Structure 1
């Protein structure tokens, strides 16, 4: 059975259940604004870092950088970007190396330091010396690392349901090597992504508007580039596991606001631990208060009734909170 699917401004004809093939770098998925690229070397090979740079119609002189999570892309920030630019902010939205429209070098050894340094180079190339950094999920870990490495380049830090607030190894999360993680990533489908997000991100609920982002994520796995995408995600999963920021929260100098959807069930790696230990992997809303107390200028904002991705689940409410926070 054929199905016509409109996603990101494109229409993909697919066999029922197969999912659209958007390419390993989302070559056939349309972003809401023009995508530009910056070329850099990764292990001696050229790689491209994709990004959007959106000007405000009435600029207020400030720049906001939006950092995506592991299971999302720059395009996921579309509604937030519109709200920010209408409020006068210039918005820069990168896709990190290893994700979405950016290159996925097979030889890359991923670290948050590398991603932060790439982001710093990108901003410098755009003439931006200081910005408000907003990071969601894994992007929250990156935003924290960026602020630790470049404290004078950050005027405010906003973390949306961030990972990395606790060291999951201390809670019993075992190490899995890249090959084991890679084998698991190769099994990724639209159905597996949706099931995970419905349970952990959206507290058992689902809206048709979420499908766009699941098709986007699964569309990178649908074609011949599947192994390349799976390897990049395996390596970045290892990065998240082995590079928590939890022990360095005291190093966050900028004013930091942690926005948490209280119904978020995300506890990175929960599926990798024995069932008897899963109860000890606390979800983000449970670890956030203690983490914020360790931040020199930390503030916790709770969004009751929302989950891991409040910017997707209730854009208007999230955007009002964000704009109030960064003013």
Structure 2
């Protein structure tokens, strides 16, 4: 086995050795199309209302031959309610906010949860660059098309780096910034960026064995795994059998390269003017990168905290990288407390 194949295998089974007992296999389950994903809160009788929006400005900016469409869920609120935009992380989709979408609506917020280009039920164009700046432009075009001038951006991991790019380039627009285990603070050398480009491939993602998916999802992202989270495994295994999975795998590969090229974000954190909170799990196994750097997550998030003016840093003890699903109760309490502390919006929203 070549060194790079060995690294790929190691990435897939990260932490798997710490799991115990038998787990359910979904290898024989039928294929699942992205459009058939169950977008609903646990136990709900009705799915969230899904919508799609064309992105002509994004297509023109990045010289795309076709105008892509972006899928999103929008839950209404009373007139004048503030808008919270939920942005998912790498390899995921808006359902990863299932513990927050309804909770935020009940708290009185106008909720928008997006599927970024290449993910979930959004289009997956090969011509989209999949940089965090392009992702931010797509989110911005969607929110502005919906008449939202000053959104509160809530981004997890890759979505956090997307929100950072948005807030740096358009500092007068966000009325709040919630960075959830965000990417974008960790320093990568050119050799490390080249390593990412060589290790990550569509073949690597497409041929991941089921036991490796259990390891990479369950062990790498969670400290409090529960049976009700097994949809994460089932959907990933079944989606890999769908025709659209090749385009999804390509989006992931390009996104990893975009994430590693985070110098713009790291060097311009001081330009952020929106009130900001960095919410993370103290037991995060993915940040810092365990294969390149090691260390403690707080050290990485302290870097961003020290450079974003007036930011707040909150670590949740014993919680992992996907903290919003791993520790939903303390996470939601911290999130809603921050949202309530925000000053009045700079302009009324519909």
- TM-score bin (small chain): 0.7 to 0.9
Other-structure match for 2:35:
27
Other-structure match for 2:68:
47
Give the distance between the partners of 2:229 and 2:260, measured in 1 at CA.
Answer: 27
1:55-134 correspondence to structure 2 within 5 Å: 55-56=76-77, 58=78, 61-134=81-154
1:165-176 correspondence to structure 2 within 5 Å: 165-169=185-189, 172=192, 174-176=194-196
Other-structure match for 2:218:
198
Aligned-pair distance for 1:28?
Answer: 1.3
Other-structure match for 2:319:
306
1:135-214 correspondence to structure 2 within 5 Å: 135-169=155-189, 172=192, 174-177=194-197, 181-203=201-223, 206-214=225-233
User: For 1:85-142, what per-residue CA distance to the aligned partner results, in whole angstroms no more than 9, with x for missing partners?
Assistant: 1111000111011111111112222222211111111111111111111101110000
Aligned-pair distance for 1:59?
Answer: 5.4
Give the distance between the partners of 1:269 and 1:250, measured in 2 at CA.
Answer: 24
Contiguous gaps of at least 5 residues in structure 1: 1-13, 272-277
Structure that is richer in strand per residue: 1
Aligned-pair distance for 1:171?
Answer: 9.0
User: For 1:266-320, what per-residue CA distance to the aligned partner results, in whole angstroms no more than 9, with x for missing partners?
Assistant: 136545xxxxxx4x34453331113211111211011111111221112222111
User: For 1:125-181, what per-residue CA distance to the aligned partner results, in whole angstroms no more than 9, with x for missing partners?
Assistant: 111111111101110000111111221111110101111112222794543437952
Give the distance between the partners of 1:268 and 1:19, measured in 2 at CA.
Answer: 35
The answer to whether structure 1 residue 18 and structure 2 residue 39 are counterparts is no
Other-structure match for 1:252:
272
| Contact 1:262-1:305 at 8 Å conserved across structures | yes
Moved more, 179-188 or 305-314: 179-188
Give the distance between the partners of 1:207 and 1:59, measured in 2 at CA.
Answer: 38
Structure 1 residues 287 and 45: alpha-carbon distance in aligned structure 2, compared to 1, 3 A threshold: same
| Contact 1:141-1:163 at 8 Å conserved across structures | yes
User: For 1:16-61, what per-residue CA distance to the aligned partner results, in whole angstroms no more than 9, with x for missing partners?
Assistant: 52344222xx1111212121101135411132100011113x5552
Give the distance between the partners of 1:262 and 1:18, measured in 2 at CA.
Answer: 36
Equivalences, count: 303
Cα RMSD for the two superposed structures: 2.3
Structure 2 residue matching 1:177: 3-state secondary structure? helix
| Contact 1:257-1:301 at 8 Å conserved across structures | yes
Q: Quick one: higher RCO (CA 8 Å, sep 6+), 1 or 2?
A: 2
Give the distance between the partners of 2:209 and 2:159, measured in 1 at CA.
Answer: 23
Other-structure match for 2:246:
227
| Contact 1:37-1:49 at 8 Å conserved across structures | yes
Structure 1 residue matching 2:283: 3-state secondary structure? coil
Structure 1 residues 170 and 326: alpha-carbon distance in aligned structure 2, compared to 1, 3 A threshold: farther
The answer to whether structure 1 residue 36 and structure 2 residue 57 are counterparts is no
Give the distance between the partners of 2:326 and 2:25, measured in 1 at CA.
Answer: 28
User: For 1:190-234, what per-residue CA distance to the aligned partner results, in whole angstroms no more than 9, with x for missing partners?
Assistant: 43232013332114x521122112323343322223322211111
Structure 1 residue matching 2:36: 3-state secondary structure? coil
